């Protein structure tokens, strides 16, 4: 994979697209990329794989248009444990991206696979335990070795799980007290069950737990700027502080609900309870701590 002249011109991104963007580096803490290409086959059993490509080059165009300097690519689940396309994207577009891989959490070899992927260039691993019995492996014997390996590699453990799974993380966090843990998308707490958010807030006592204040657009029952979901962000802000919260677009998943620019502007322009320094952290500095970029 070679970079075109148009893509190389992205090096001028440091000149931000807006006055606010120029004040600090904006980091998007999560996107996904994929391509319909036989070199990168979909995992067996993948149902209805996306027909339209969503490539890192497309992401770079969005970043440039919105003043976003760096982005974290999370391995797309349609490829499951084959991280090849994500890895090739990281290598092609260094230094604009960091990568978070996936390993099979039910495979005893997962810790060694994680070591191999980290050596190749990934900086983090993502697990996704479902709410039903299919996700009960989060409480099984294969989790401690995987979490301990991530801690020894000094890479973050990224958890995409429903709010009901948050209590299951406590023993693993206690087992690995120095491991950085990132909870995706406010644990997708349903907007009509605000009391459930306390399960995530309970993790605020662990200093190395971070939260992505994303998916405001998908859990909300209101139009932009999704004020009902902003109430969740306020509560997380009070519990974790801005230094442990981070913005993520979750592009291109967001496109089913909204646009990339609105996922950013809701934090940058609409969350009036965040002051300028708070936004500095939430829109960039927090993610920069978790995924150090050049």
Q: Does domain 23-290 have CATH number 3.20.20.140?
A: yes
This prediction's pTM:
0.91
SS3 assignment for the chain: CCCCHHHHHHHHHHCCCCCCHHHCCCEEEEECCECCCCCCCCCCCCCCCCCCCECHHHHHHHHHHHCCCEEEEECCHHHCCCCHHHHHHHHHCCCCEEEEECCCCCCCCHHHHHHHHHHHCCCCEEECCCCCHHHHHHHCCCHHHHHHHHHHHCCCEEECCCHHHHHHHHHHHHHCCCCCEEEHHHHHCCCCCHHHHHHHHHHHHCCCEEEECCCHHHHCCCCCCCHHHHHHHHHHHHHHCHHHEECCCCECHHHHCCCHHHHHHHHHHHCCCCCHHHHHHHHHHHHHHHCCCC
Where the chain has pLDDT below 70, the residues are 1-23
pLDDT in tens, 203-233: 999 999 999 999 999 999 999 999 999 999 9
pLDDT (0 to 100) of residue 135? 98
pLDDT (0 to 100) of residue 179? 98
pLDDT in tens, 245-293: 999 999 999 999 999 999 999 999 999 999 999 999 999 999 999 999 9
pLDDT (0 to 100) of residue 18? 38
pLDDT (0 to 100) of residue 16? 37
- Name the residue ranges covered by the structural domains of the chain: 23-290
């Amino acid at each position: 994979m070679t970079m075109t002249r148009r893509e190389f011109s992205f090096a001028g991104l440091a000149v931000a697209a807006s006055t606010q963007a120029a004040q600090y580096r904006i980091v998007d803490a999560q996107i996904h990329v994929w391509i319909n290409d036989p070199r990168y086959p979909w995992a067996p059993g993948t149902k209805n794989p996306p027909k339209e490509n969503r490539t890192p080059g497309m992401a770079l165009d969005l970043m440039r248009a919105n003043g976003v300097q760096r982005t974290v690519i999370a391995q797309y689940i349609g490829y499951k444990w084959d991280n090849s396309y994500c890895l090739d994207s990281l290598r092609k577009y260094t230094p604009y991206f960091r990568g978070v891989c996936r390993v099979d959490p039910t495979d005893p070899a997962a810790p060694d696979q994680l070591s191999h992927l980290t050596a190749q260039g990934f900086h983090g691993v993502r697990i996704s335990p479902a709410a039903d019995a299919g996700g009960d492996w989060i409480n099984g014997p294969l989790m401690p070795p995987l979490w301990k390996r991530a801690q020894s590699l000094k890479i973050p453990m990224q958890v995409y799980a429903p709010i009901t799974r948050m209590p299951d993380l406590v023993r693993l966090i206690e087992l690995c007290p120095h491991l950085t843990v990132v909870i995706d998308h406010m644990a997708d707490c349903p907007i009509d069950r605000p009391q459930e958010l306390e399960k995530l807030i309970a993790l605020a006592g662990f200093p190395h737990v971070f939260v992505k204040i994303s998916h405001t657009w998908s859990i909300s029952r209101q139009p932009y700027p999704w004020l009902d979901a902003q109430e969740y962000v306020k509560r997380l802000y009070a519990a974790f502080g801005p230094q442990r919260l981070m913005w993520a677009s979750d592009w291109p998943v967001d496109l089913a609900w909204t646009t990339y620019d609105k996922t950013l502007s809701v934090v940058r322009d609409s969350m009036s309870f965040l002051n300028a320094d708070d936004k500095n952290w939430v829109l960039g500095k927090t993610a920069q701590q978790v995924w150090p970029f050049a």
